[in-house]
Amino acid sequence: MTAREALDKLLAEGHTTFQTDDAGVRDEARRTGWSGPLRGPLQFDAGPPFPSVGAAIEALVPGVRVTAGPRVGVVGRVIRSALAGRTDTVEVVVHDTTEDGHFRLRYPDRADLFAEAVARAVDVAVAMHGRFGPAVGHVRLVAIDSGPQGFNTGHVAGVAAPTVGDVHLNASLCLPPEGRATSIDETTAHEFWHQVELGFNARRYRESIEFRRQLGAYFGVETLERAVDRPGAARDRLIAEVSAYAATNTLEATAEMARLWWTSRADPPPVARHFGEVVDRFFPTASSRR
């Protein structure tokens, strides 16, 4: 059953409200008269679809304004296409009106792009800037593209480029048929945490050692590295409570915990709750916008 058929069936049965995390269904719903908040239930009101991705972002993400990106010439477009791994990209500037900050957003210029998924990435990026302030102040580009190695295979969902302060998200997260509503939230949080931690390790190295010790204490070991590197009960718990990918290395372990913490809403699991408590000790809350 296609997304359109499923929506028509809902209406035929008298349902005018529904909730799903399927990005494709939500996108089709928003195109065909359904509306509602970001990540929330959708309601059929026969309203028009968003006229543009920028309009969707402004409508769904509180406190942001979207403006056209800088004009570039032929050479600039060629370079941007090469970096993005595709020729159909557009770039805009997202302004956080509550924090007086901004960053560039690049995404595929395609009619079948899931606008809500792009808005979710923006929402997480804006909230991360609000929560961590200067720790992610260097992140000035969120690129939804196909440029980094591994993106076209589908094996890599996101990349943090610390030397230039870019966050890249795989375009497949916002396009049919691969798009998944929850993945782009999680991937954005994961990659932004990489940007937070890489700067933390470089500028506050002694504190970063203690940070990993406090995370390791949750798993019953001296430091988080012991849970990652040594087979045993701590590593088993890390995999079971966070993810198998968390056991890849220490940076991925913290990024996966950050992902779980950030995207856990009303009832975070114990490991996410502990991670958040440790984060608050080392990064006093600059904003409550999480």
Q: For 10-24, write each residue's pLDDT tens digit.
A: 999 999 999 998 888
Tokens standing for 205? Answer: 């190295």
287, pLDDT greater than 50: no
- Cα 273 to Cα 251: distance, rounded to the nearest angstrom: 19
Could you say which DSSP state residue 152 is in?
A: T
Report pLDDT digits (tens) over 260-279: 999 987 789 999 999 999 99
Mean pLDDT along residues 167-177? 90
290, pLDDT greater than 70: no
- Residue 181 has a pLDDT of 47
How many other CB atoms are there within 10 angstroms of residue 134's CB atom? 9
